[in-house]
Amino acid sequence: MRVGVLTGGGDCPGLNAVIRAVVRKGIKDYGYEFIGFRDGWRGPLEGDTVPLNVESVRGILPRGGTILGSSRTNLMKIEGGVERVKDNMAALGVDALVAIGGEDTLGVARQLHDRGVNVVGVPKTIDNDLNATDYTFGFDTAVNIAMEAIDRLHTTAESHHRALVVEVMGRHAGWIALHSGMAAGANVILIPERPFDIDDVVKHVESRFQTQYAPIIVVAEGAHPKEGQMELATGETDSFGHVRLGGIGQRLAEEIEKRTGKEARSVVLGHVQRGGTPTAFDRVLATRLGVNAIDAVHDKSFGKMVGLQGTAIVRVDLAEATDTLKTVPAERYQEAEVFFG
């Protein structure tokens, strides 16, 4: 059997660990041959490949990013895209695909499976918002990077008696903001699932200053105020219809400074959260997911995603994984609210 592997969407630590596990297990236990498709769904769309073997995946376990490259190509928006992928797979002798990605990449995988393509999905996203899996690899690394940054910002905020707003990633789900903010002792955490009241935010900031400490506000990029409170800019949309986000941190800092008279600055962590070497947790999770993904291919368990539930790796329908996003429930946010102010 010849198996294709691709990585789509935003990069994150742990992608190479999955590729390594898929290839090593597939060659050693099943005698499969592998090719990598470059740059997400663009690879099978254009037949752009690179050979994958034990030598090519040696030493990549600790590397961030992806040796295959990535993109946000949405072949479902390209006329004849599905047929081109099928034709290229047939011409290359590819019998099955392992698609590693988040909601968009696996959403395309699901639609391809519905059209007769043999696909197994692996959940990747630093946002941790894929359904049917407790954690996605990349999330733990992103949280630790954000936590360390917030730890450092506490000291400079107190030295200069200023409020600092830290903007982290999280378009629809606030998992990174919640976990990094709680771990680093933020005074306010703002997430997309819960529109915030700017008056409440200002009260927390002023309360913090009254105790002679400088406030730290962690805000997810997709967080937004209650209707009519603040104007936010909007950006371009990508091929999956997502608006380019960024700017809530700066806008929030401006509003806090105007209302409190205290200096406020914003820090956007941005793609720093995606980069660098994965944590031990993400390396192990990514490896386990890769091993189980190629097992699913061997079992012809297509149309499935391998995910973590409890401590076990399970197989779930791609439809279950991509129908809805896994967002922060109210009770989890309330746990953090106890420490606000």
Give the Cβ contact number of residue 71 at 10 Å: 18
Angle at 170 (CA atoms; ends 274, 258), nearest 5 degrees: 110
Report yes or no: 84 and 114 within 8 Å, Cβ to Cβ: no
Size of the chain in residues: 341
Residue 273 is labelled as binding a ligand: yes
Distances (CA, A) of 105 to 7, 8, 112, 119, 151: 8, 6, 11, 12, 33
Residue 274 is labelled as binding a ligand: yes
Residue 150 is labelled as binding a ligand: no
The catalytic site residues sit at: 127
Residue 58 is labelled as binding a ligand: no
Residue 303 is labelled as binding a ligand: no
Residue 125 is labelled as binding a ligand: yes
Residue 236 is labelled as binding a ligand: no
Q: In the chain, what is the greatest distance between 2 CA atoms, to the nearest angstrom?
A: 69
Residue 55 is labelled as binding a ligand: no
Residue 10 is labelled as binding a ligand: yes
Give the Cβ contact number of residue 236 at 10 Å: 7
**Cβ contacts of 23 within 8 Å, gap of 6 or more:** 5, 34, 52, 53, 54, 56, 57
Residue 127 is labelled as binding a ligand: yes
Residue 24 is labelled as binding a ligand: no
Task: Write out the binding residues.
Answer: 10, 103, 125-127, 162, 169-171, 221, 265, 271-274
Task: Write out the binding residues for diphosphate.
Answer: 10
Task: Write out the binding residues for substrate.
Answer: 125-127, 162, 169-171, 221, 265, 271-274
Task: Write out the binding residues for Mg(2+).
Answer: 103
